[in-house]
Amino acid sequence: MKLKLIPLLLAGTALVAGCQQNANTVGAPTILKEDAAASVNGQFISKTALEALTKEVSARAQGQVIPKDKLVDELVKRELLIQEAKTKGLDKSAEIIERLEMMKGALLSQAAIEDYIKANPITEADLKAEYDKQIGMAGGGAEYKARHILVKTEEEAKELIVKLDKGGDFAELATTKSIDPSAKTQGGDLGWFSAAQMVAPFSEAVAKLENGKYTMAPVKTQFGWHVILREDSRQQTPPPFEAVKAQLEPMVQREKLTNYLDALRKGAQVEILVPLTEEVPAEVVETVEVTESADGKTAEVVETVEVIEPTDNKEATKEAK
């Protein structure tokens, strides 16, 4: 089996860990020889950095085993580059210092989140509450199977009801008369749906019908006028709690973190110092119109200046000169 080459500086997390452990800064941990995986010009590279790189590269290589000598060589090359950068004073540049601070901030914010999650684990009660909420949002458990014919006017809908009363075939009428594109190929079939999936007037009309019956009066929605045939109905059976518990966990976790961050923000003094919308300069449009007088002997010049303000509604202020 051929092994993939490890690109230099591939794994960002391990690189950050290695940099932090090898940096000669206040608070940086001292690495003892027995805790080191290698030494470069007297600077130790920790076994922890090697473990972090091993995990990250293995994840990227989808479980492929990477020889340890290649991983150690990767860390050695990185340390050589770090030492070279320090020799050239690159670690003192404002840009690098700012980028390192951003990396440090990202690590600290992630650490704060992990600390909160550890201190506030998701409980069975949290998951059960979310399950009950999701089931409650399903809308009572009723599902309907229906067809509809959609037309532009109430008169057209009434004419269709007359044809149905005389024995007309609903699916055929939907195919030939409905303006709903899906009706042309499906005979107006909407399949199974819950009340929450349809606009209120439509859902209410379907709920009042009996199976096999159609609406005796047209139903108006924002889409037009409907004639609806309710073919069947059933009660939804929600999945058992144990079957969906794992899917609910990330939802509960997100909600907990959102509430945590909202509480932090509420208790902090936050001042936004940059504009949050892009400023668009005003546009000035000048037009000149020449009109003849009533007797046709003189001309009048009218200059119009239009200032289009940089606002959402693009209101224009006009000034005639």
Nearest-angstrom CA–CA distance, 173 and 188: 9
Q: Residue 134 — pLDDT band, cuts 50, 70, 90? A: confident
Q: HSE-up of 49 (CA within 13 Å, CB side)?
A: 28
Entry field: residues in the chain: 321
Q: Note whether 290 and 300 are within 8 A (CB).
A: yes
- pLDDT tens, position by position, 269-278: 999 999 988 7
- pLDDT tens, position by position, 3-46: 344 454 444 444 444 444 444 444 567 889 999 999 999 999 99
Percentage of residues in the chain having pLDDT higher than 90? 63
Q: Which two tokens stand for residue 241?
A: 């709690």
Mean pLDDT, to the nearest integer, of 290-319? 45
- Could you please report the per-residue DSSP string of 276-302? SS-----EEEEEEEEEE-TTSS-EEEE
Radius of gyration over every alpha carbon of the chain, rounded to an integer in angstroms:
35
**Three-state SS at 192:** strand
- pLDDT tens, position by position, 222-258: 999 999 999 999 988 888 999 999 999 999 999 999 9
Q: Which two tokens stand for residue 65?
A: 């085993």
- Regarding beta strands 283-292 and 299-308, do their DSSP bridges make them parallel or antiparallel, or are they unpaired? antiparallel
Q: Is the predicted pLDDT of residue 260 greater than 50, yes or no? A: yes
Domains of the chain in sequence order: 12-119 (no CATH), 139-235 (3.10.50.40), 283-320 (no CATH)
Relative orientation angle of helices 12-22 and 68-87, to the nearest 10 degrees: 60
b/e burial code for range 81-114 (CB count within 10 A of at least 16 → b): ebeeeeeeeebeeeeeeeebeeeeeeeeeeeeee
pTM over 0.95, yes/no: no
Give the single-character DSSP code of 197.
G
Higher pLDDT: 194 or 123? It is 123
Nearest-angstrom CA–CA distance, 19 and 17: 6
